[in-house]
Structure 1
């Protein structure tokens, strides 16, 4: 396969791999594989916690999901998400995604934009149906609106739109405790951009690879070379050291998955496409993604359908803002 897909350069703004560096913005940039893993698994560093909000609002969702919870609330909230995923068997997700992908491809006779209908629409419809939402198709635009404002820093207009979308998703959801409902909706929101980015990157690279290479192997290497989530943040709760550097309490750190996945001390020929390498994209430690197998199953169902019947026509797509998720905006495919 390396003869067909020999090199995949990093994005132009991927930081170089090196010792932790205090950037001009006042946060530490962590780029080496060992340093990123160490921070993810060290209790000295925690996720930035979200304040609670009015029930049914975006602030309520962020303040109740495991993703933004501290160590006192995180285990119970993560358990709610894991319990929800227990009813979403990965093989079933893959089959459902493959079926919906085939239906979408049958509807079009020419060039098709990957991102809106396939990369976002198919995985979210499948997951929403498995989670028991009353209208999986209507959940897709609502989840997309919430995902656009999910990270801190969204403007007031985006937040108001997200508030309405969260309320709509709560109304679609089966009855349950606030923590159960929030964390089930959180699964959809976290899957939205991450899975869309993975499918978009896979469509860009995997359709050029030999058909003998399994899609699962292709996706694993795409996760390393062009991760849909480029990094994550942590805050130091007490004095610590990272990569030999002293980090003060309260310091913010940005863990750069895109750089760490290409660390030459861990990966030989880091720009070469060769499945089986070490990947940090799903995180590690207490906040490691609980839906890794499920996301890969959904992406596999979509990409399998594309590989069987379609080929790429755009090789250098733009990407949606913001910076951390990487979701192609104009990647198009056409029948073989």
Structure 2
């Protein structure tokens, strides 16, 4: 599905559900997937989402932004003339800041383990990645604050959800907006508006999957129960029925609403926190860095878009 209106319907209609996942022994990747709200069936989703919402509630987005900015400045101060935005900033900094505020012991180690879990998080990956992820989940459980298993699992889930998506947003913003390659950034445009437009034009999460549990009609198609559906955020965010002149970069544009964070009962509970973390990193980048005019390659993934690396010069 590619039309904005159809995605909004599919994200809010209970006839479309997240595909089920199988569980596994406690402390494994399969157990984590089956326990987090992201993959939970309808009868368990609300309670597990409430765990994530409660964990995020005390976190001030502005403090997260300041944490990310401080960590970014520290990296640049010791980086010399050049830095790889993805490896040294976009991946570790948001995870370290968020893990610290969520109460994980050794936030840097937690961030390293989360990256291993994130690489194998979606079902159907290489078994070798799954074995590494099992060990990383065990390590994260040891670093997580004390609490019931379902709470600890959903704290880890928050970090995993932030991992690639936030790194992809920071990488896309650096690629598109940092000089010398990027468009001129309007002097009045705040970083949040700039990042929102990057999320629309080059979203780090390109798509999400659903399966129909009832027969339903959507987008002039009759879908029987059990139909797999791929919802394309990248296409819906350029739908001319929702956004005027959709190919133009226009921070602060009016529109029908960005769908990259989802919507409805399964919309991202940490969208403000993710934007705050990305803002903290990018504010420092736009002040102190210039991008190298070299092609950007992205990691192979069916639904995510994260640069493999992105070199910048430090001023």
Indicate the TM-score class for this superposition, using the shorter chain for normalisation. Answer: over 0.9
Residue 281 of structure 2 is matched in structure 1 by 302
Note closer, same or farther for the CA distance 1:211–1:266 as it changes in structure 2 (3 Å cut): closer
The whole-number CA distance in structure 1 between the counterparts of 2:270 and 2:193 is 18
What stretches of structure 1 move > 4 A for 4+ residues in a row?
none
CA RMSD of aligned residues (A): 1.1
Number of aligned residues: 307
Asked if structure 2 preserves the Cα contact closer than 8 Å seen for 1:204 and 1:314, the reply is no
Residue of structure 2 in register with 1:229 after alignment: 205
Separation of aligned partners in 2, 1:267 and 1:226? 15
Distance 1:323 1:202 in 2: 21
Partner of 1:321: 300
> Would you say 1:293 and 2:258 are equivalent positions?
no
Q: 1:105 to 1:146 in 2, by over 3 A?
A: same
| Structure 1 runs not aligned, ≥5 long | 1-29
Match in the other structure for 1:69: 40
**1 CA distance for matches of 2:263 and 2:145?**
31
Whole-angstrom CA distance in 2 between matches of 1:282 and 1:99: 26
The answer to whether the 8 Å contact 1:314/1:332 transfers is: no
The aligned counterpart of 1:210 is 185
Residue 72 of structure 1 aligns to a residue whose secondary structure is helix
Alignment-derived partner of residue 9 in structure 1: none
**Cα offsets for 1:107-135 (capped at 9, x unmatched):** 11112111011001100000000111111
Q: Per the alignment, in what secondary structure is the counterpart of residue 254 of structure 1?
A: strand
Instruction: Quote the Cα distance in structure 1 between the aligned partners of 2:147 and 2:177.
Output: 40
For 2:309 and 2:97, how far apart are their aligned partners in 1? 23
Q: Specify the alignment match of 1:102 in structure 2.
A: 73
> What SS class does the counterpart of residue 73 from structure 1 fall into?
helix
Gaps of 5+ in 2: none
TM superposition shift of 1:251: 0.4
Deviations 1:166-203 (A, max 9, x none): 00000001111111000000000010000000000011
How many angstroms does 1:315 deviate by?
5.2
Maintained 8 Å contact 1:318/1:330: yes
Provide the rounded CA distance (Å) in 2 between the counterparts of 1:211 and 1:313.
21
CA–CA separation in structure 1 for the residues paired with 2:21 and 2:30: 8
Residue pair 1:215, 1:300 contacting (<8 A) in 2 also: yes
What secondary structure sits across from 2:155 in the alignment? helix
Following the alignment from structure 2 to structure 1, what is the Cα–Cα distance between the partners of residues 162 and 309? 20
How far apart are 1:101 and its partner, in Å?
0.4
Give the Cα–Cα distance (whole angstroms) in 2 for the partners of residues 315 and 283 of structure 1.
Answer: 32
The alignment status of 1:54 with 2:33, answered yes or no, reads no
Partners of 1:304 and 1:253 in 2: CA distance: 37
Q: How high is the TM-score relative to the length of structure 2?
A: 0.95
Deviation at 1:87, TM superposition (A): 2.3
